[in-house]
Copies of this chain bind each other. A is one copy, B any other.
């Protein structure tokens, strides 16, 4: 029977693993680093998880679950909310999460690494977490574009929206070197979110119809 204390130890290792893997990657993040940060013996990894790889899988799932919990995907779908308001809400929510480096920053770093070097762990994450958001944004796009779009154009619109948010995380090192002021403070981030919203809204509402459809 696993005690309450053991469960706490397990979660401490899981959290330390997430932070270490996020900062240094799977290979560079050593078991000794993780256990040192968690304050446990190195054998704990083998005791609680099978090995380092299984620990990585669980840490990734744990990070996603915790990120979902703290930054819930609350895209208002009610009747009284206009599509533009839903769009603004989504973009701000998503961007704030991506730009957050302080308390929850390692989740995003870890996920970014996983996307760049995908393992088998990515498949269920894409299906269970990313796809619903993709679908929600697609519904917003359909409502905002004044004419019908073919399926591929629709997907590309959604990707254009995600891309404008994701660049602030993926190219963060370049931004910090070239234009640090646009993401420096909270008010700058709000302004960035507002910009992305206006940029997307202008594009969607004025997108020309695809010829031949």
Q: Give residues 190-213 of A contacting B (CB, 8 Å).
A: 191-192, 195-196, 198-200, 202-208
Copies of this chain, count: 2
The reply to whether the CB of A70 lies closer than 8 angstroms to some CB of chain B is no
Query: By DSSP majority rule, is chain A's interface helix, strand, loop, or mixed?
Result: helix
CB–CB A182/B152 < 8 A: yes
CB–CB B25/A122 < 8 A: no
Residues of chain B with a CB closer than 8 A to A163's CB: 163-168, 171
Q: Give residues 64-121 of A contacting B (CB, 8 Å).
A: 112-113, 115-118
CB–CB A202/B196 < 8 A: no
- Give the interface size bracket for A toward B: 35 or more
Residue of B112, B131, B178, B195 near A126 (CB, 8 A) is: B178
Contact with B along A161-183 (1 / 0, CB 8 A): 01111111011011101110110
The reply to whether the CB of A50 lies closer than 8 angstroms to some CB of chain B is no
Chain A interface (Cβ < 8 Å from any Cβ of B): 25, 27-28, 112-113, 115-118, 122-123, 126, 130-131, 134, 152-153, 155-157, 159-160, 162-168, 170-171, 173-175, 177-179, 181-182, 188, 191-192, 195-196, 198-200, 202-208
